[in-house]
Structure 1
């Protein structure tokens, strides 16, 4: 993967200062580039990171090959909501894991990525549970993955059991439940977790809720909504009814982030096709 930057107006600074402060190049990637022949060039010639850069300089970074690992390429019809040379945003269907695991070696989003981008390692910027559908962003380079950390805003839609008519904020720490490797729960010694929720529509059995997160704990939405008495429909792990739905009804419906190349805001959406009450 090749990255190109044109140095714009600014104070005198070294190449390392420019790349670290203005382009969010991680220290780890910068070290790798320094040890790669031709990894860092300025105006067509190699340059040291301690050298000064000036407006108009053309910087080219060539990332070293890392290999794609042992993920088996397996093409599947997963829609793409947005794509550039730096990232791809999949509209993941429910039932598809993001990463391979026991019993899931060729039916994951990682397999789909390996089929679409041979030779590139799979770098999802965030993870969705297997049964959570919706937008999942994967970086095509180490630079993009580092650049996007902490800069992505996501909005979810969930169908919860019961009639919920008022919104609010859940601030409750989440940790692993004693004796379980899967279940999480609200516990005083857990990690801080904050969820904002707004009911959109409801009937006597279910409520469609919009949610945004300030943190990204495992099962956060599922645990928090269950903790206030409104578990997700179909989520039998946390007390949700499976009478109508066979999977937990959660969907990543919108993502907003800065484009790693232009800095412009990217906003993508995906409808929650499986949910009623829309």
Structure 2
């Protein structure tokens, strides 16, 4: 068990203890810290506390962090929307709200759990936690991704991503009116220098390129088609926020006051084009806009 001791100085006074610790311990999420507090693993001057406790100068905080759980990915009978399947690949239309593979805080209910129930074989290149996963999309992003059923397929699909011969097109609704009809955002993305749980455009980041085209304007909002040239974490969300047009509903990079009751960002992986790893055939798949996206369009048009 890891043990950490922190004494509050002037800079940390008056903050909720869960907020303070999530900033101080950058590798631990706020939700995980809340769980540690509720489990009595966080003591202030030797006493248990609550997540909303406001820190005081001189507080001696003692944190006990248990070792991470060993993740054992189990098959789960979870329905999945299969767009295409053969002996080598399976193309899924992932719903908003589903995590792609198990990780701390999400040990079950993921796409991988569902795939293990559905498929007899998945590629083993990414290990037992991410079998078959060639690329990912965020939990609250919906749409298409391809999964490899064997190592041959995985290697060839990964090479297509690397060589930019796999095309991924997203539809999104962003804040405000984009005046130009199309554009290219070429700005490097890396970890945010202060908040390590966010990504940002930073000079030290890896090159990231997004091509975008306006499909429809709604006054204060714009429907956009975005095509990834590279595949950095949160790329479209970070890039659109960077040019002043954050994705509607984005809880991390979006505006604070959202007008619509959404469960996450309005971002859908609508089209995927790849070369089949065995046949060499060029294949294009499309996923219709999901309900959360379709419901928003008439509201914006009116």
State the number of aligned residues.
210
Structure-2 separation of matches of 1:172 and 1:259: 31
1:231 to 230, 246, 251: 246
Gap runs ≥5 in structure 2: 1-70, 125-130
**Could you say which residue in structure 2 is the equivalent of 1:160?**
174
1:179 aligns with 2:197: no
1:153–1:177 CA distance, 2 compared to 1 (3 A) = same
What TM-score do you get using the length of structure 2 for normalisation? Answer: 0.66
Q: CA deviation at 1:211?
A: 0.5
Aligned-residue RMSD, C-alpha: 1.6
**Could you say which residue in structure 1 is the equivalent of 2:128?**
none
Stretches (4+) displaced over 6 A: none
SS at match of 2:100: coil
Structure-2 separation of matches of 1:137 and 1:110: 12
Instruction: Write out per-residue CA displacement over residues 205-232 of structure 1, whole angstroms, 9 at most, x where no aligned residue.
Output: 3211001111111111001000111000
1:254 aligns with 2:268: no
What TM-score do you get using the length of structure 1 for normalisation? Answer: 0.72
**Could you say which residue in structure 2 is the equivalent of 1:264?**
281
Instruction: Write out per-residue CA displacement over residues 188-221 of structure 1, whole angstroms, 9 at most, x where no aligned residue.
Output: 1111111100010121232110011111111110
Q: Which has the higher helix share?
A: 2
Q: Is the 8 A contact 1:72 1:105 kept in 2?
A: no
Structure-1 separation of matches of 2:107 and 2:297: 36
SS at match of 2:77: coil
**Could you say which residue in structure 2 is the equivalent of 1:40?**
none
Gap runs ≥5 in structure 1: 1-68
Q: Is the 8 A contact 1:155 1:253 kept in 2?
A: yes
Instruction: Write out per-residue CA displacement over residues 73-103 of structure 1, whole angstroms, 9 at most, x where no aligned residue.
Output: 1121221011110010110000101011222
